[in-house]
Structure 1
Protein backbone atom coordinates (compact mmCIF):
# COMPACT_ATOMS: atom_id res chain seq x y z
CA UNK A 1 0.00 0.00 0.00
CA UNK A 2 1.25 3.47 -0.84
CA UNK A 3 -1.84 5.27 0.48
CA UNK A 4 -4.72 4.20 2.67
CA UNK A 5 -5.63 3.24 6.19
CA UNK A 6 -4.31 0.62 8.56
CA UNK A 7 -6.48 -0.32 11.54
CA UNK A 8 -4.47 -1.44 14.54
CA UNK A 9 -4.93 -2.04 18.25
CA UNK A 10 -2.03 -2.46 20.61
CA UNK A 11 -3.76 -4.90 22.97
CA UNK A 12 -1.41 -7.83 23.60
CA UNK A 13 1.51 -6.28 21.69
CA UNK A 14 4.85 -4.97 22.86
CA UNK A 15 6.17 -1.65 21.63
CA UNK A 16 9.09 -2.90 19.55
CA UNK A 17 6.99 -5.43 17.65
CA UNK A 18 4.22 -2.85 17.22
CA UNK A 19 6.53 -0.26 15.66
CA UNK A 20 8.09 -2.94 13.46
CA UNK A 21 4.64 -4.03 12.27
CA UNK A 22 3.76 -0.47 11.29
CA UNK A 23 7.10 -0.04 9.49
CA UNK A 24 6.58 -3.23 7.49
CA UNK A 25 3.25 -1.83 6.27
CA UNK A 26 4.75 1.53 5.20
CA UNK A 27 2.83 3.57 7.78
CA UNK A 28 3.83 7.24 7.60
CA UNK A 29 1.55 8.53 10.37
CA UNK A 30 -0.02 6.90 13.39
CA UNK A 31 -3.25 8.59 14.46
CA UNK A 32 -3.98 7.84 18.11
CA UNK A 33 -7.75 7.98 18.60
CA UNK A 34 -7.77 7.31 22.33
CA UNK A 35 -9.46 9.99 24.41
CA UNK A 36 -6.46 9.98 26.75
CA UNK A 37 -3.12 9.01 25.26
CA UNK A 38 -1.94 7.14 28.34
CA UNK A 39 -1.54 3.45 28.95
CA UNK A 40 -0.50 1.04 31.65
CA UNK A 41 1.12 -1.00 28.90
CA UNK A 42 4.80 -0.08 28.70
CA UNK A 43 5.63 2.24 25.82
CA UNK A 44 2.10 3.08 24.71
CA UNK A 45 1.69 6.42 26.44
CA UNK A 46 1.94 9.48 24.22
CA UNK A 47 5.55 10.56 24.84
CA UNK A 48 7.23 7.15 24.64
CA UNK A 49 5.08 6.07 21.68
CA UNK A 50 5.71 9.26 19.70
CA UNK A 51 9.46 9.04 20.40
CA UNK A 52 9.62 5.40 19.27
CA UNK A 53 7.65 6.16 16.11
CA UNK A 54 9.83 9.18 15.28
CA UNK A 55 12.95 7.01 15.62
CA UNK A 56 11.40 4.69 13.02
CA UNK A 57 10.55 7.59 10.68
CA UNK A 58 6.84 7.85 11.48
CA UNK A 59 4.77 10.78 12.65
CA UNK A 60 2.49 10.56 15.69
CA UNK A 61 -0.72 12.57 16.03
CA UNK A 62 -3.11 12.38 18.97
CA UNK A 63 -6.67 13.08 17.86
CA UNK A 64 -8.39 13.46 21.21
CA UNK A 65 -11.55 14.71 19.53
CA UNK A 66 -11.97 11.22 18.02
CA UNK A 67 -11.67 9.45 21.37
CA UNK A 68 -14.55 7.36 22.62
CA UNK A 69 -16.08 8.80 25.82
CA UNK A 70 -15.59 6.61 28.88
CA UNK A 71 -19.35 6.13 29.30
CA UNK A 72 -19.60 4.74 25.75
CA UNK A 73 -17.02 1.95 26.07
CA UNK A 74 -19.25 -0.61 27.76
CA UNK A 75 -21.63 -0.98 24.78
CA UNK A 76 -18.67 -1.94 22.56
CA UNK A 77 -17.28 -4.40 25.12
CA UNK A 78 -20.65 -6.01 25.83
CA UNK A 79 -21.77 -6.42 22.23
CA UNK A 80 -24.35 -3.61 22.23
CA UNK A 81 -22.78 -2.19 19.10
CA UNK A 82 -25.81 -0.30 17.79
CA UNK A 83 -25.96 1.66 21.05
CA UNK A 84 -22.23 2.39 21.04
CA UNK A 85 -22.16 3.35 17.37
CA UNK A 86 -25.12 5.73 17.74
CA UNK A 87 -23.51 7.54 20.66
CA UNK A 88 -20.12 7.72 18.95
CA UNK A 89 -21.70 9.19 15.80
CA UNK A 90 -22.82 12.07 18.04
CA UNK A 91 -19.15 12.62 18.88
CA UNK A 92 -18.30 12.67 15.17
CA UNK A 93 -20.88 15.38 14.57
CA UNK A 94 -18.92 17.88 16.69
CA UNK A 95 -16.83 20.50 14.89
CA UNK A 96 -13.44 19.42 16.27
CA UNK A 97 -14.15 15.79 15.33
CA UNK A 98 -15.13 16.88 11.80
CA UNK A 99 -11.81 18.70 11.46
CA UNK A 100 -9.93 15.62 12.65
CA UNK A 101 -11.77 13.42 10.14
CA UNK A 102 -10.95 15.87 7.35
CA UNK A 103 -7.30 15.71 8.36
CA UNK A 104 -7.32 11.91 8.22
CA UNK A 105 -9.02 11.95 4.81
CA UNK A 106 -6.33 14.27 3.42
CA UNK A 107 -3.52 12.15 4.87
CA UNK A 108 -5.00 8.84 3.71
CA UNK A 109 -5.07 10.13 0.14
CA UNK A 110 -1.32 10.80 0.16
CA UNK A 111 0.19 8.29 2.61
CA UNK A 112 -0.53 5.24 4.74
CA UNK A 113 -2.17 6.25 8.02
CA UNK A 114 -2.61 3.87 10.93
CA UNK A 115 -5.63 4.50 13.13
CA UNK A 116 -4.81 3.17 16.60
CA UNK A 117 -6.65 2.45 19.79
CA UNK A 118 -6.20 -0.24 22.47
CA UNK A 119 -8.74 -2.84 21.33
CA UNK A 120 -7.30 -5.64 19.19
CA UNK A 121 -10.70 -6.48 17.63
CA UNK A 122 -11.61 -3.55 15.40
CA UNK A 123 -15.24 -4.66 15.34
CA UNK A 124 -15.48 -3.98 19.07
CA UNK A 125 -13.81 -0.59 18.88
CA UNK A 126 -14.91 2.91 17.96
CA UNK A 127 -12.01 3.21 15.50
CA UNK A 128 -14.01 1.06 13.05
CA UNK A 129 -16.55 3.90 12.76
CA UNK A 130 -13.76 6.42 12.17
CA UNK A 131 -12.17 4.20 9.55
CA UNK A 132 -15.46 3.66 7.71
CA UNK A 133 -16.00 7.42 7.55
CA UNK A 134 -12.47 8.18 6.36
CA UNK A 135 -12.31 5.33 3.84
CA UNK A 136 -15.67 6.21 2.30
CA UNK A 137 -14.65 9.85 1.85
CA UNK A 138 -11.06 9.24 0.75
CA UNK A 139 -11.82 6.28 -1.49
CA UNK A 140 -8.83 4.36 -0.14
CA UNK A 141 -8.29 0.78 0.94
CA UNK A 142 -8.19 -0.40 4.53
CA UNK A 143 -5.93 -3.04 6.04
CA UNK A 144 -6.68 -4.61 9.44
CA UNK A 145 -3.69 -5.66 11.55
Structure 2
Protein backbone atom coordinates (compact mmCIF):
# COMPACT_ATOMS: atom_id res chain seq x y z
CA UNK A 1 0.00 0.00 0.00
CA UNK A 2 1.24 3.48 -0.83
CA UNK A 3 1.81 5.95 1.98
CA UNK A 4 3.21 9.46 1.84
CA UNK A 5 4.73 11.86 4.33
CA UNK A 6 4.90 15.64 4.23
CA UNK A 7 6.04 18.51 6.40
CA UNK A 8 4.44 21.92 6.11
CA UNK A 9 7.43 24.16 6.87
CA UNK A 10 9.20 25.82 3.93
CA UNK A 11 6.08 25.34 1.81
CA UNK A 12 3.51 27.83 0.67
CA UNK A 13 -0.08 26.61 0.77
CA UNK A 14 -0.17 26.27 -3.03
CA UNK A 15 2.74 23.81 -3.07
CA UNK A 16 1.53 21.92 0.01
CA UNK A 17 -2.02 21.32 -1.25
CA UNK A 18 -0.72 20.77 -4.79
CA UNK A 19 1.43 17.87 -3.56
CA UNK A 20 -1.57 16.30 -1.85
CA UNK A 21 -3.84 16.67 -4.89
CA UNK A 22 -1.21 15.39 -7.32
CA UNK A 23 -0.75 12.18 -5.32
CA UNK A 24 -4.47 11.50 -4.79
CA UNK A 25 -4.16 11.43 -1.01
CA UNK A 26 -7.28 10.03 0.71
CA UNK A 27 -6.51 10.95 4.32
CA UNK A 28 -4.03 13.34 5.87
CA UNK A 29 -2.92 11.79 9.15
CA UNK A 30 -1.62 14.49 11.45
CA UNK A 31 1.13 12.99 13.62
CA UNK A 32 2.04 16.22 15.41
CA UNK A 33 1.81 16.46 19.17
CA UNK A 34 0.50 20.04 18.92
CA UNK A 35 -1.74 20.65 15.94
CA UNK A 36 -3.01 24.10 16.95
CA UNK A 37 0.26 26.04 17.21
CA UNK A 38 0.28 29.64 16.03
CA UNK A 39 3.42 28.78 14.08
CA UNK A 40 1.45 26.43 11.86
CA UNK A 41 -0.29 29.03 9.69
CA UNK A 42 -2.53 27.15 7.22
CA UNK A 43 -1.66 23.88 9.01
CA UNK A 44 -3.60 24.63 12.21
CA UNK A 45 -6.06 21.80 12.90
CA UNK A 46 -9.39 23.41 12.08
CA UNK A 47 -8.12 25.45 9.14
CA UNK A 48 -6.25 22.48 7.75
CA UNK A 49 -9.28 20.18 7.96
CA UNK A 50 -11.35 22.83 6.13
CA UNK A 51 -8.78 23.40 3.38
CA UNK A 52 -8.24 19.67 2.87
CA UNK A 53 -11.96 19.04 2.52
CA UNK A 54 -12.74 22.06 0.33
CA UNK A 55 -9.65 22.17 -1.89
CA UNK A 56 -8.72 18.51 -2.19
CA UNK A 57 -11.59 16.34 -0.93
CA UNK A 58 -9.19 14.80 1.61
CA UNK A 59 -10.13 13.55 5.08
CA UNK A 60 -8.23 14.74 8.15
CA UNK A 61 -7.30 12.62 11.18
CA UNK A 62 -5.18 13.62 14.16
CA UNK A 63 -3.34 10.67 15.72
CA UNK A 64 -1.26 12.03 18.62
CA UNK A 65 -0.36 8.45 19.57
CA UNK A 66 1.98 8.60 16.56
CA UNK A 67 3.80 11.60 18.05
CA UNK A 68 6.63 11.65 20.57
CA UNK A 69 5.94 12.79 24.11
CA UNK A 70 6.59 16.40 25.02
CA UNK A 71 9.55 15.29 27.16
CA UNK A 72 11.25 13.41 24.32
CA UNK A 73 10.59 16.18 21.81
CA UNK A 74 11.77 18.98 24.11
CA UNK A 75 14.94 17.12 25.09
CA UNK A 76 15.85 16.78 21.41
CA UNK A 77 14.98 20.39 20.56
CA UNK A 78 17.11 21.61 23.48
CA UNK A 79 19.96 19.37 22.27
CA UNK A 80 19.92 17.48 25.55
CA UNK A 81 19.77 14.23 23.57
CA UNK A 82 21.15 13.25 20.17
CA UNK A 83 19.06 12.23 17.18
CA UNK A 84 20.04 8.61 17.81
CA UNK A 85 18.81 8.79 21.40
CA UNK A 86 15.61 10.53 20.25
CA UNK A 87 15.07 7.81 17.66
CA UNK A 88 15.62 5.04 20.23
CA UNK A 89 13.25 6.64 22.73
CA UNK A 90 10.56 7.20 20.11
CA UNK A 91 10.83 3.66 18.72
CA UNK A 92 10.48 2.30 22.26
CA UNK A 93 7.48 4.56 22.84
CA UNK A 94 5.75 3.28 19.70
CA UNK A 95 6.38 -0.29 20.85
CA UNK A 96 4.92 0.47 24.30
CA UNK A 97 1.87 2.03 22.64
CA UNK A 98 1.48 -0.95 20.26
CA UNK A 99 0.71 1.40 17.40
CA UNK A 100 0.87 -1.46 14.92
CA UNK A 101 -2.33 -2.77 16.52
CA UNK A 102 -4.15 0.52 16.99
CA UNK A 103 -3.69 2.31 13.67
CA UNK A 104 -6.42 1.49 11.16
CA UNK A 105 -4.84 0.34 7.88
CA UNK A 106 -7.44 2.25 5.82
CA UNK A 107 -6.02 5.52 7.21
CA UNK A 108 -2.62 4.61 5.82
CA UNK A 109 -3.72 3.35 2.41
CA UNK A 110 -2.92 6.30 0.16
CA UNK A 111 -2.69 8.34 3.33
CA UNK A 112 -0.13 10.98 4.13
CA UNK A 113 1.55 11.50 7.50
CA UNK A 114 1.90 15.19 8.37
CA UNK A 115 4.48 16.78 10.62
CA UNK A 116 6.20 20.13 10.64
CA UNK A 117 9.72 19.20 9.53
CA UNK A 118 10.47 20.08 5.93
CA UNK A 119 12.46 16.91 5.19
CA UNK A 120 11.87 13.44 6.65
CA UNK A 121 15.47 12.58 7.53
CA UNK A 122 15.30 13.88 11.09
CA UNK A 123 11.55 13.66 11.59
CA UNK A 124 9.46 11.15 13.50
CA UNK A 125 7.02 10.67 10.58
CA UNK A 126 9.73 8.64 8.82
CA UNK A 127 10.24 6.58 11.97
CA UNK A 128 6.50 5.83 12.19
CA UNK A 129 6.46 4.35 8.68
CA UNK A 130 9.66 2.37 9.24
CA UNK A 131 8.34 1.03 12.55
CA UNK A 132 5.05 -0.05 11.00
CA UNK A 133 6.87 -1.77 8.14
CA UNK A 134 8.94 -3.75 10.66
CA UNK A 135 6.21 -4.64 13.14
CA UNK A 136 3.02 -5.12 11.16
CA UNK A 137 1.81 -7.18 8.22
CA UNK A 138 1.41 -3.99 6.21
CA UNK A 139 3.70 -3.44 3.27
CA UNK A 140 3.97 0.32 3.14
CA UNK A 141 5.66 1.83 0.10
CA UNK A 142 6.63 5.28 1.29
CA UNK A 143 7.16 8.46 -0.68
CA UNK A 144 8.28 11.58 1.15
CA UNK A 145 6.92 14.80 -0.34
CA UNK A 146 9.20 17.83 0.02
What band does the TM-score fall into relative to the shorter chain? 0.7 to 0.9
Q: Does 2:6 correspond to 1:8?
A: yes
SS in 1 for 2:26: strand
Aligned-pair CA distance for 1:106: 4.0
Contact in 2 for aligned 1:8/1:115 (Cα 8 Å): yes
Distance in 2 between residues matched to 1:15 and 1:69, nearest whole Å: 28
Structure 1: gaps spanning 5 or more residues: none
Aligned to 1:83: 85
TM-score when scaled to structure 1? Answer: 0.83
Aligned-pair CA distance for 1:30: 0.5
Aligned-pair CA distance for 1:84: 0.4
Deviations 1:87-115 (A, max 9, x none): 11232134474554x32x3433xx31101
Aligned to 2:141: 141
Q: How many correspondences in the alignment?
A: 139
What's the C-alpha RMSD, in Å, of the aligned pairs? 2.2
TM-score when scaled to structure 2? Answer: 0.82
Distance in 1 between residues matched to 2:29 and 2:17, nearest whole Å: 13
Structure 2: gaps spanning 5 or more residues: none
